[in-house]
Amino acid sequence: MRGAAKRVSLRGLLYLVLGAQSLVVLFPLWLMFNSSLKASRQIFRDPFGLPNPVFWKNYLKLFVQQSYERYFLNSIGVSVVSLLLIVVVTSLAAYAIGKYRFRGNQQIFFYFLIGLMLPIRLGTINIMQMFIRVNLYNNLLSLIAIYTAMGIPAGILIFTGFIREIPDELRDSARIDGYGETGIFLRIIVPLLTPAIVVVAVYNLIPIWNDFWFPLILINRDELMTVPLATARLFGKHETDYGLLFAILSAAAIPPIALFVTLSRYFIKGLTAGAIKG
Amino acid sequence: MRQRKIRLFLIAYLLPALTIYTVFMILPILQSMRYSLYTGTGIRPDQFVGFGNYVKLFTQFPFRLRFFNVLKNNVLFFIMVSVSQNVFGFVLAVLLTRRFKGRRFFRSLFFVPTALSVIVVGFVFKLILNPVWGVFDRMLRSLGLEALIRPWLGDPALALPILSLVTAWHFVGIPIIFFTAGIDGISDDIIEAGRIDGVSVWGEVRHILLPMLKPIIGIVTILTFVGNFSEFEIVYSMETVYGNPEYATDVFGSFFYRTAFGTVMNNVNDVGLGAALASIMFLIIFVGVLFFLRITRRET
């Protein structure tokens, strides 16, 4: 093949492959959302057709009979508090690590980074015992503690990278202006960290929101369940009601997809932070 | 005076993160290793048995059978997931870094599944593949491929490959993002120079992209390795905690869960034995991470 013809066919091939992958990604998700708006009978008779008529009752059942919103509230509460804690404690520690030279600085940084490679669930036995001992079994605080610990390594990595880029002159001139160390952090550093704060929060949000393992181990009271655990429990309970099953799955899938679509830029930044540079 | 003040300030800034991280992550993992040397009923094993739990896992029926089965399954699962996910991810990343209309859109679109919970993904594919609803089978039938229809999740030879493909479908966004960032980071001059010298697309991939992306391939492989050797949710949602059919999809995560935390059907759990399993998982992950770091290090 010669020049121009080759280029055209390559372009065609490119769109063909990307188009095929788009179908592979979208088809199962479309099937799920589409079926969630159908009556079970139509799901079986006509699995690929559009909802006819649109059957909202699946969602009504989910929210009215199953009070699904409380699982949402639990998930939102746990995620928001954990993210706040992660941002606060890791930005403080990253500032100390990134801007001060002291003995053990590198070792502490390394100690935090080990956590990036360690699945926290290997410590589940002890975690469970610990929470039973302090009477926090069946308490959302236990999840908050775990998720905060889980988010610390990535938070430290991302914040330290950002903080090291901030020129020292800013700090020195603030000192001359009479700011104390805390004043410098709050007035000078934190405002500059805003983009990093978003990256850290968004990066940690998805694993926290989606975690199933720790609620499965630490929560068994229905009113305390988070979305993934409630999804599994409801799924097992209504095995034959396909319309409801797809509504359950769609309700669990919509928030992370919506968040990702709006915040994907920050998410991708968090994922590749450090890893590429290092 | 000033030195002391700064030291206090540093401690105050480091302490919250250090404490939470140590108490809820590092100490529990280390503590599990200590518990692996004890046995007993109930939640806190108190009887010292040395390496008894390990001996039990490696030699006693039925633990030995289950242990070597999960070891085999988990290795196969990792190989199938990382090969399919990384090869697809790499090809898509090469395409996504060409200049064309809509590449941002495709980059985001391919990442969408990664935002979902494994539980949701597992259940959706379980419904799609099951013969009761049979949508996948209907699709094959309409393509004239009726002869291919199998009990997808009930055939011991097929179940694990299918779980691997579902996992690759779910997480292919991660290699895509890493590889596109890596390729974008290679200076255009190098690629241009290759093109001027008349290097083919394949030559460009082999002699420029692959060698320069080696450290990133390493990171992606490590992430996959750590994830796969602690995987639990995909097995739970598609094949129950027993790794159906006939333990064909049983992996370390599901075996660990059953052993340490019992199951609904038989509330027998053995925390010491579970801790031994967690310690073995730790060792495998630790050695694996070091190994992949070593072989994918950038040569200097």
- Residue of B9, B44, B282 lying closest to A122 (CB–CB): B282
Contact A21 B285 (CB under 8 A): no
* Share above pLDDT 90 across residues of chain B, in percent, rounded to a whole number: 69
CB contact under 8 A, A249 and B106: no
Q: Which residue of chain A is at minimal alpha-carbon distance from B261?
A: A217
Contact B116 A121 (CB under 8 A): no
Residues B10, A153: C-beta atoms closer than 8 Å:
no
Mean pLDDT for A244-261 is 93
Other CB atoms closer than 10 Å to residue B27's CB: what's the count? Answer: 15
Report the pLDDT averaged over residues A81-107: 94
Q: B101 is written with which tokens?
A: 């209309």
Looking at CA atoms only, how far is residue A154 from chain B in angstroms?
A: 12
Which among A125, A149, A227 has CB closest to B260?
A125
The alpha carbon of residue A196 is apart from the nearest alpha carbon of chain B, in Å, by 17
Which of B149, B137, B153, B233 is closest to A229 using CA atoms?
B233
Query: Residue A2: its pLDDT value, please?
Result: 53
Q: Which residues of chain A make contact with B43, given a CB cutoff of 8 A?
A: 128-129, 132
Mean pLDDT computed over A137-162: 96
Q: What is the pLDDT confidence band of residue A277, given thresholds at 50, 70 and 90?
A: very low
Q: Which of B38, B104, B117 to mutate to test the interface with A (most CBs of A within 10 A)?
A: B117
Alpha helix segments (H runs only) across chain A: 3-36, 40-45, 57-60, 69-99, 105-114, 124-133, 140-165, 168-176, 181-183, 190-210, 213-218, 227-237, 242-272
pLDDT band at B188 (very low <50, low <70, confident <90, very high): confident
Residues of A in contact with B219 (CB under 8 A): 275
Interface test with A, best of B10, B26, B29 (most A CBs within 10 A): B29
Say yes or no for a CB contact (<8 Å) between B285 and A102: no
At B266 the pLDDT is 55
Q: Which residues of A touch B20 (CB under 8 A)?
A: 85, 89, 145, 148-149, 152
Backbone angles phi, psi at B48, to 5 degrees: -70, 130
- Residue A76 is encoded by which pair of tokens? 């939102």
Out of B29, B123, B227, name the one closest to residue A123 (CB). Answer: B29
CB A74 within 8 A of CB A224: yes
Q: Do A24 and B28 touch (CB under 8 A)?
A: no
CA-angle at B36, arms to B34 and B40, nearest 5° = 110
For the packed helices B252-261 and A124-133, what is the interaxial angle rounded to 10 degrees?
A: 30
Q: What ranges do the domains of chain B cover? A: 51-295
Whole-number pLDDT of residue A191: 92
Alpha-carbon distance of A27 to B24, in angstroms, equals 40
> Do A47 and B133 make contact, defined as CB atoms within 8 angstroms?
yes
| B51-295: CATH topology | MetI-like fold (1.10.3720)
CB contact under 8 A, B135 and A89: no
Q: What is the per-residue pLDDT for A88?
A: 97
Contacts of A126 (CB under 8 A, 6+ apart): B27, B28, B29, B31, B32, B35
Let me know if B81 is exposed, middle or buried by CB neighbors in 10 A (0-12, 13-18, 19+).
buried
**pLDDT per position as a tens digit, B138-186:** 999 999 999 999 999 999 999 999 999 999 999 999 999 999 988 988 8
Q: Domains in chain A, start-ordered, CATH in brackets?
A: 3-55 (no CATH), 60-272 (1.10.3720.10)
- What's the CA gap between A235 and A212, in Å, rounded? 14
Q: How confident is the model at residue A264 (pLDDT cuts 50, 70, 90)?
A: confident
Is B21 in contact with A259 (Cβ distance < 8 A)?
no
* DSSP per-residue string spanning B209-249: IHHHHHHHHHHHHHHHHHHHTT--HHHHHHHTTTTSSTTTT
Q: Before A255, cis peptide (omega within 30)?
A: no
Q: Please tell me which residue of chain B has the smallest CA distance to A142.
A: B24
**Chain B contact probe: residue of A30, A122, A186, A218 with most B CBs at under 10 A:** A122
Q: Residue by residue, what is the 3-state secondary structure of A5-69?
A: HHHHHHHHHHHHHHHHHHHHHHHHHHHHHHHHCCCHHHHHHCCCCCCCCCCCHHHHHHHHHCCCH
Which residues of chain B lie closer than 8 angstroms to A108, CB-CB?
Answer: 14, 18
Q: Is the pLDDT of residue B65 over 80?
A: yes
CA distance A76 to B96: 34
pTM for this prediction: 0.93
Instruction: Determine the pLDDT at residue B173.
Output: 92
Q: Which residues of chain B neighbour A181 with C-beta distances below 8 Å?
A: 5-6, 9
Helices (H) and strands (E) in chain B — how many of each? 15, 2
Residue in chain A lying closest to B277 (CA): A122
Do the beta carbons of residue B126 and residue B238 sit within 8 Å?
yes
Is residue A221 within 8 Å of residue A136, measured between CB atoms? no
